[in-house]
Each structure stands twice: as structure tokens, then as C-alpha cells.
Amino acid sequence: MSGQKDIKLLLADVDGTLVTQDKVLTYQAAAAAQELRDAGITLALTSGRPPRGMSMLIAPLKLEGAIAGFNGGVFVNPDLSVIESHLLDAAIAKQTLQLILDQGLDAWLYTEKEWLIRDAKAPHVARETWTVKFDAKIVDSFTDAHLADAVKIVGVSDDLDRVAACEKLAQEKLGERASAARSQPYYLDVTHPQANKGAVVLTLAKLQNISPGQIATIGDMPNDVLMFRKSGLSIAMGNASDDVKSQASQVTDSNQDEGFAKAVRKFILKKTK
């Protein structure tokens, strides 16, 4: 595939890709990041997480590239200063919230700086707090002011079929006015239409003054397929579904078996051992 011989930047998903199931950045993953840097290749991150929720990775990875939080809803520098952001339209945010609640999912709302929830004991709140290393703000309800500042709205449920059905319904009802895709089987992320991982590739190409073909991407979820389609080299994790794997140029091992580090060395740095 064109672009593979001249990769200038690797754009990596975080959960399910860069870190293990226990959200640990392994020694090998950090070492592979150093090897990329030594080869003059920038490592950039994109995730459904807020930028703050990736801050613990900045120092160990010695990140120099932009970080795309909220699937591209907010781009920040490694010091977390904002480069650009894409807020949801307030009316779309309101419609999204109603759609999620009507389908029986819990809803979270993220602004540039805050994570808002209605119930501290709701599914995945404790896990997410541990993952992103900061606490949610509990509100009685999401006000018009909250909706006007929304960067991302998340539908949450352990009924995975319900989340998948809600994803299809959101895509059908919101159309091109928002981006709706699962970032985990139990999370439906709804963001500005330009806040998707495909657009992240194009934005990073512009910021780095390189072509999208000089960007490699690596991920594991359906929302990562959007960045696969825009990049010169795409790598699916071994823990990805068969559908996601079928849409990548290469497949590596799982995030439990150093898939990120192995992909860097085999497909990008072309190390034979």
C-alpha cells in the first residue's frame, strides 16, 4: 500500500491498543515509542477519552505530537493547551441526550474540562474514574448550559445489543449532523461530525505538514476503521473483531500480548527480529 515506506507519524488508539485490558502501559510499549522517536517518527494519540484522561501517558511516552481527545473533539498539545475543538451543536446535543435516554442507556456528558454524570453508582463510572484518573461531577440533570458546552455525549449500558442498536439508531436519526460510534462495546460516543478518527488523520496531516499517506494508524474498535481508511498504513489489534481486522492492511497480536510494540517493530520500523 502506498505510503508505507515513508511513515512520518503513527496515530494510536489508547484503550484496547496502546494499553492492556488493565489500562497498563507496558515496558515494551514505552520502549517501542522510544524506537519510533529514534527513527524520527512522531507518535500521536487519539481516544474517546478526554485529554485529561490521557495525561498519565504523556511523560512515559515522551509525547511530542498532538493528542486528539474525544475522538478528535479536542486537540491538545502535550502540555494540554488546546489547539482546536469541535463542540456539538446544542440542538443536536439535546436530541442525542433524549435518544440515548429513550433507548434505556445511561448518559454522560463531557465538556472540554469536565465529565458530568447523574449517578455516581451507575455502570462503568467507577471503572472510568480509575481509568482517566479524575472524578466526574455529579449533576441532577443536564441543563441547556451543559448541552451548549458538550464536546461528547456517551450512552452507557452493559446490555451490549442495546448499545449496538442505539448506535444504528443514532447514525440514522442524526445523520451527518453528528458522529456516532462505539468506542467500547458498552460505550456509544456521539461527537461533532468532524470529531471522528478519520478527521483526526486529516487534521494531524495538516498540523504536521505531511500527507495522510505518511500516517500509520493502529486500533481495535469500529470507530478506528474511520482512521484506517484515511491513512497510508492501517494496523488492527489481535483483539479486534473480524470485521475491524478485515478493514486494516495488517493485523498484530492482542493488547494482552504486546501487539502495539510488535506492530511498531514489524510493520513500521521493519525490524526482522
**In angstroms, how far apart are the furthest CA atoms of the chain?**
56
Inform me whether the pLDDT recorded for 249 exceeds 80: yes
Average pLDDT for residues 133-156, to the nearest whole number?
97
Cα-based distances in Å from 221 to 5, 158, 186: 25, 17, 12
Dist CA 109 CA 135 (whole Å): 13
Inform me whether the pLDDT recorded for 13 exceeds 80: yes
204 plus 73 within the same structural domain: yes
Domain end position, chosen among 191, 217, 250: 191
186 plus 200 within the same structural domain: no
- Domain assignment of residue 235, given as a range: 4-85+195-268
Domain end position, chosen among 191, 207, 231: 191
Write b or e for each residue in 32-70: b if 16 or more Cβ atoms lie within 10 A of its Cβ, otherwise e.
bbebbeeeebbbbbbbbbbbbbbbebbeebebebbbbbb
Inform me whether the pLDDT recorded for 184 exceeds 80: yes
Inform me whether the pLDDT recorded for 197 exceeds 60: yes
Q: What is the pLDDT of residue 198?
A: 96
Average pLDDT, the chain: 95
172 plus 261 within the same structural domain: no
101 plus 183 within the same structural domain: yes
Does residue 273 lie in a domain region?
no
Q: What is the pLDDT of residue 3?
A: 38
Q: What is the pLDDT of residue 4?
A: 47
Burial class from Cβ neighbours inside 10 Å (0-12, 13-18, 19+) for residue 273 reads exposed
Inform me whether the pLDDT recorded for 122 exceeds 50: yes
CB contact at 8 A, 183 and 177: no
Q: What is the pLDDT of residue 271?
A: 84
Beta bridge partners of 46: 13, 68
Inform me whether the pLDDT recorded for 232 exceeds 60: yes
Q: What is the pLDDT of residue 5?
A: 61
172 plus 212 within the same structural domain: no
Domain end position, chosen among 157, 173, 191: 191
Helix, strand, coil: what percent of the chain each, to 5? Answer: 40, 20, 40
184 plus 101 within the same structural domain: yes
100 plus 51 within the same structural domain: no
Average pLDDT for residues 147-176, to the nearest whole number?
97
Confidence of residue 1 (pLDDT cuts 50, 70, 90): very low
Average pLDDT for residues 22-32, to the nearest whole number?
97
CATH code of the domain in which 230 resides: 3.40.50.1000
**Within a 13 Å sphere around the CA of 60, how many CA atoms are in the beta-carbon half?**
15
Could you read off the pLDDT of 46-90 as tens digits, one per residue? 999 999 999 999 999 999 989 999 999 999 999 999 999 999 999
Average pLDDT for residues 105-115, to the nearest whole number?
95
Confidence of residue 113 (pLDDT cuts 50, 70, 90): confident
When divided into structural domains, the chain yields a total of 2
**Grid coordinates in use for 99?**
435518544
Q: What percent of the chain has pLDDT over 70?
A: 97
Inform me whether the pLDDT recorded for 273 exceeds 90: no
